Amino acid sequence: MDEQTPIAIMEISLLTLDDKVVSSLLGLVGGVIGTFLAPWVNWGIETRRERIKARKQLIEDTRMILQDPPPVSEFRKLPIYFRIKPFLAKATINTIQGKYDKNGNEVITIVVGPPPQGPSRYVLYVLNDLSLQEIKWKLV
């Protein structure tokens, strides 16, 4: 070869048989992972959507009932009360459940005078707890 003629020498690396096997296995493993990972991720997203939808419905149903609230003695028997009870503050539950003496008898307080104006105290407590729960659940 002549020294005056520049010749560029490039090395071309061809895949060997081992490299082809490794590449094929990586592709197979990636495909298998993708096949199982994509539905799992989708399932997680759908589960979260359904949970949010159920929580919104629970709060909406409770607010609908409390627009024209029943007496507290009736409210504590409703199925909606048992659904929201785990999310209520202890003070709210005590207000709804009432007071009992040491023998388990309900203590009834009699108030003389005109009936109080506005919503019942338990309604305000429940609505307050629901608002706090909405924030905790990041629904607002």
pLDDT at 11: 47
Alpha-helix runs per DSSP H in 12-115: 17-67, 72-75, 79-84, 90-97
Which pTM value belongs to this model?
Answer: 0.67
- Domain map of the chain by residue range? 19-136
**What is the crossing angle of helices 17-67 and 121-136, to 10°?**
170
pLDDT at 63: 96
Sign of CA dihedral 64, 84, 134, 72: positive
pLDDT at 84: 97
Tokens describing residue 48: 């979260």
Structure confidence at residue 5 as a pLDDT band (50, 70, 90): low
Distances from the Cα of 61 to the Cαs of 3, 7, 15, 81, 120, in angstroms?
91, 82, 65, 11, 18
Tens-place pLDDT, residues 28-53: 888 878 888 888 888 999 999 999 99
Sequence length of the chain is 140
Query: What is the rounded CA–CA span in Å between residue 84 and residue 70?
Result: 16
